[in-house]
Amino acid sequence: MTHSIIISGFGGQGVMLMGQVLCQAGMTEGKHVTWLPSYGPEMRGGTANCTVIISDEPVASPVVDSPEEVVVMNIPSLLKFEPIVRRDGYLFMNSSVIDREPKRQDIKTIKVPANEIADQLGNLRVANMVMLGAFVFTTKCVNIESLIDAMKYKLKGKDSSIIELNVEAIKQGVRHVGG
């Protein structure tokens, strides 16, 4: 099984970390992974996206023209990446920021109010982990336990309260989509 994923948003929304955590979780499970970052002209505030491939087989190229799964954290990302989602693929939208409906009817859309959930947890910066929890629970690209372990690995050295907040954010994302 191969998951080809694009994660996109404004710089500062944690989209690169989302991709790195997914890859770390995939490696933990013995899968083949690639992570390809792409930054807009500004690091913070500009658009940023990354392409992630998680596969049971070796990955020939990190480039994805038609991803199975796309996560968009803002409207410019929706406009850019909705058209290229593979038919019957998934489009995950941060409905706290994106106030419009997707145009396509041939894909599955999952709306996650990631900013609102993160705000209820007391820190908007964990919106990325809310979205990641919803994404992983829905797609089953890795196990939630591997995702949490990978997040802890990527944030090692940080204050333990930040790590626990991120764990709770992942769990809230899972709950939002029915887990």
CA distance 173 to 178: 9
Q: What pTM was estimated for this model as a whole?
A: 0.93
Gap between the terminal Cα atoms of the chain: 22
Task: List pLDDT tens digits, range 22-74.
Answer: 999 999 999 999 999 987 665 555 679 999 999 999 998 888 999 999 999 99
Task: List pLDDT tens digits, range 74-128.
Answer: 999 999 999 999 999 999 999 999 999 999 999 999 999 999 999 999 999 999 9
What domains are there in the chain, each with its CATH number?
A: 2-176 (3.40.920.10)
CA distance 33 to 56: 9
Q: Using an 8 Å Cβ cutoff, are 10 and 47 in contact?
A: yes
Q: What 8-state DSSP symbol labels residue 77?
A: H
